[in-house]
Amino acid sequence: MSHRYAELAFTPAVRAVQEHYGSRRDNQRLEHEFGPNDELDSREIAFIGQRDSFYLASVGQTGWPYVQHRGGPPGFLKVLDPRHLAFADFRGNKQYISVGNLAGNDRVALFLMDYPKRLRLKILGRLRMQDLSDADPAQVDALRPYPYHAAIERIALLTVEAFDWNCSQHITRRYTEAQVREVMAPLQARIAQLEQQLAQRDTPSDTPTS
């Protein structure tokens, strides 16, 4: 069973470099023994549902790649089925580089990161942007991430072609503000408890002394 991600990514030039650096044999095993990695399974679906951001790469008419960050509440990137994702595309800096690139080439790559667990999911797909005037209002409402109130300009519909998981090497652990608060909550509660005990101990007693 061929590995769809390797099939798309391992061009002749890539395979030649793998041969040069001595990794070709291992990558041949990936091509033929793992996969097909062309439909999302429960692991990928759960991972996507927990993400609050991802990186989106497209290619412009000049041949230059462009990488853009997309963010929102956890789960704003929706899994419609094992081959399709969708998200509400919010108003940004109004340069519209990704949107313009997609008008000429719908191929994209997504990087989804879990920095605390040092996990990275890569997705190759074809992305279609749909203006709100052309979108189904019910679908727009389903993709609207409550209680996030950013202005939605269009709906993004992604067809998954392939995906792959990267190893954890060189991924630096980072934590969101919410994750830090969660970890610190027991410590802050314990500090508050100790401060209260100290305050009670230092309070002068009302009992008269003889």
Q: What are phi and psi of 72, to 5 degrees?
A: 175, -170
Q: Is 178 within a domain? A: no
Q: Is 195 within a domain? A: no
CB 151 within 8 A of CB 188: no
Distance between CA 198 and CA 193 in Å, rounded? 9
CB 124 within 8 A of CB 8: yes
CB 54 within 8 A of CB 117: no
112 and 159 co-located in one domain: yes
Cis preceding linkage at 147, omega within 30: yes
At 2 the pLDDT is 86
106 and 122 co-located in one domain: yes
57 and 140 co-located in one domain: yes
CB 139 within 8 A of CB 88: no
| pLDDT over 80 (residue 10) | yes
| pLDDT over 80 (residue 210) | no
Q: Whole domain around residue 13: which residue ranges?
A: 1-37
Q: What are phi and psi of 125, to 5 degrees?
A: -165, -175
Distance between CA 64 and CA 123 in Å, rounded? 19
- Number of structural domains (the chain) is 2
Distance between CA 31 and CA 15 in Å, rounded? 11
110 and 153 co-located in one domain: yes
Q: Which CATH number characterizes residue 131's domain?
A: 2.30.110.10
Mean pLDDT calculated for residue range 28-37 = 90
Q: Is 205 within a domain? A: no
CA 202 remoteness from chain centre: 51
How do residues 60-98 score in pLDDT, each as one tens digit? 999 999 999 999 999 999 999 999 999 999 988 889 999
How do residues 95-147 score in pLDDT, each as one tens digit? 999 999 999 999 999 999 999 999 999 999 999 999 998 999 999 999 998 88
Query: Which of the 8 DSSP states describes residue 208?
Result: P
Mean pLDDT calculated for residue range 39-49 = 98
- Cα separations (Å) of 37 from 82, 87, 172? 10, 22, 26
16 and 107 co-located in one domain: no
Query: Which of the 8 DSSP states describes residue 65?
Result: E
Distance between CA 28 and CA 160 in Å, rounded? 23
Q: Average model confidence (pLDDT) for the chain?
A: 93
At 205 the pLDDT is 65
Distance between CA 106 and CA 128 in Å, rounded? 7
31 and 119 co-located in one domain: no
User: Among residues 13, 102, 89, which one has the least CA distance to residue 59?
Assistant: 102
